[in-house]
Amino acid sequence: MKKSIVFIIVLGVTIRLFLAMGSFHPDIKAFYYAGEVISKGNILNFYDYLGSLPAGDPILKIYPTDLFIYPPLMYFSLGPITHLLTLPFGGGILHNFIFDLPKVLGDWQLNLLLLTLKIPYILFDIAIGWLLYSFFKEPRSKLFALVFWVFNPVNLYATYMMGQFDVIPTFFTVLALYLVVKKDKFLWGAFLLGLGASFKIFPFLFLIPLALIREKWIDRFKAIGIGIGTYALIILPFLGSFGFRATALVAGQTTKSFYAALPISGGESIVIFPLLIILFYLIFLFFAAKPEDLWKRFFILILLFFIFTHYHPQWFTWITPFLIIDLVKSKLSHWPLVLLSLISWLGLVTFFDPGLSTRLFSPIVPSLQNAPGIWESLRINFDLNGSRSILQTLFVAVGVYYIYYHFPKVKKA
């Protein structure tokens, strides 16, 4: 068993290192540049920095003034770390990385720089694998959970090819679930959800179902207060920043879930996503749940998000641990559901811009830097909106079944 685990981890890490070195998405330049801005002493004015630059500044030809759209903990944790890790690199490669990337495509220094910028993610990644492994008791189930996480294509793509940081809030969500279920660390779970929301806001979806597993209202209010309070304390120093309030406090991406609506008059609609979230919160209030079933409630809520949202590919990292837990607990009988989910996700990836597909490997094949998308390269024309709708409908069918399957069964007396 130990030899198998070591082999799985070594192989998984090797794959991650090769993908990290050989693939590039432009967003990682912004994450690196955030560390440079912070290193120059721009702390409370961080979100206003680009807006304060002169109109002719060269950096504004590359980045918009509203570049920094995420909560502060992401920038003020990864930013200083990546700044320190990249200090050994010469100024030439770093300058070209920001201002003239084509000049360094195919240069081994770029591959090493990309690896350096992505390497902090691997600690959170390995930790999630360990948590999922520890979530189960039976050795076979433990091994399956580890294998499914280590080799799941969603995380490999989002974290090591795109260089996105969604694995970090996902880690805090899974850790919160683990501590509540396995260690009865109820309030620690609430704190970790607040911490995760300080990277991306989605862990807040889970705060109320976490609170509702306790019977006493005082315990529930403590959990909600700790979760919200953790997030509030982290963003508090930046509330005076116009840039933060305009771009990061309520980022435009967070409103995508509110597009699906039922009109009931010329100017009034029922917004479906918050309607169902509130409905399920009420169901969770009146239907009993054991701590070991908490993952099902988290799963239902994140499914609702993906059902009613035109999501970015890296966001699917958030739901992957729950798909793995369900797959292992179903003794692999739910594999068709996972397969259909991955087909839907992969299909949607191919309909995004070429920077998310063909151009990802430009560091090792420089000619791909201006390559068209997959379907255009194959000279296949699809109805873009129709194809996306079919793929989303496929996932919605799977998601609705999952919700039906895990719907709370026992009403409180």
Instruction: Work out how many domains the chain is built from and give that number.
Output: 3
pLDDT at 252 over 70: no
346 lies in the same domain as 402:
yes
Q: Which two tokens stand for residue 234?
A: 């982290």
Last residue of a domain, one of 142, 163, 184: 163
245 lies in the same domain as 292:
no
- End-to-end CA, the chain: 45
The domain in which residue 265 lies consists of 250-413
282 lies in the same domain as 387:
yes
Mean pLDDT computed over 211-218: 94
345 lies in the same domain as 220:
no
Last residue of a domain, one of 249, 265, 295: 249
Provide the mean pLDDT of the chain.
93
Mean pLDDT computed over 30-41: 92
Q: 311 versus 211: which is more confidently predicted?
A: 211
19 lies in the same domain as 106:
yes
CA 398: distance to chain centroid?
A: 20
Residue 251: pLDDT band (50, 70, 90) is low
pLDDT at 254 over 80: no
Residue 371 neighbours by CB under 8 Å, 6+ apart: 354, 358, 359, 362, 377
pLDDT at 330 over 80: yes
Mean pLDDT computed over 210-226: 96
243 lies in the same domain as 270:
no
**In this predicted structure, what is the pLDDT of residue 321?**
98
75, burial (CB in 10 Å: exposed 0-12, middle 13-18, buried 19+)? buried
pLDDT digits (tens, 9 = 90+) for 396-409: 999 999 999 999 98
135 lies in the same domain as 10:
yes
CA distance to 47, 52, 331, 378, per residue, from 64 (Å): 12, 12, 49, 33
Last residue of a domain, one of 126, 146, 163: 163
- Please report how the helices 2-22 and 121-134 are oriented relative to each other, as an axis angle in degrees rounded to 10: 150
Q: What are the residues facing 269 on neighbouring strands?
A: 263
183 lies in the same domain as 299:
no
Classify the C-alpha dihedral 275-276-281-287 as positive or negative.
positive
Residues of the chain above pLDDT 70, percent: 99
Amino acid, single-letter form, for residue 207 = L
Instruction: Characterize 127-161 residue by residue with b for buried, 16 or more Cβ atoms within 10 angstroms of its Cβ, and e for exposed.
Output: ebbbbbbebbeeeebbbbbbbbbbebebbbbbbbb
31 lies in the same domain as 180:
no
114 lies in the same domain as 78:
yes
Q: Which of 222, 218, 216 is nearest to 194 (CA)?
A: 222
190 lies in the same domain as 285:
no
Q: Which two tokens stand for residue 69?
A: 């759209």
pLDDT digits (tens, 9 = 90+) for 107-136: 999 999 999 999 999 999 999 999 999 999
394 lies in the same domain as 278:
yes
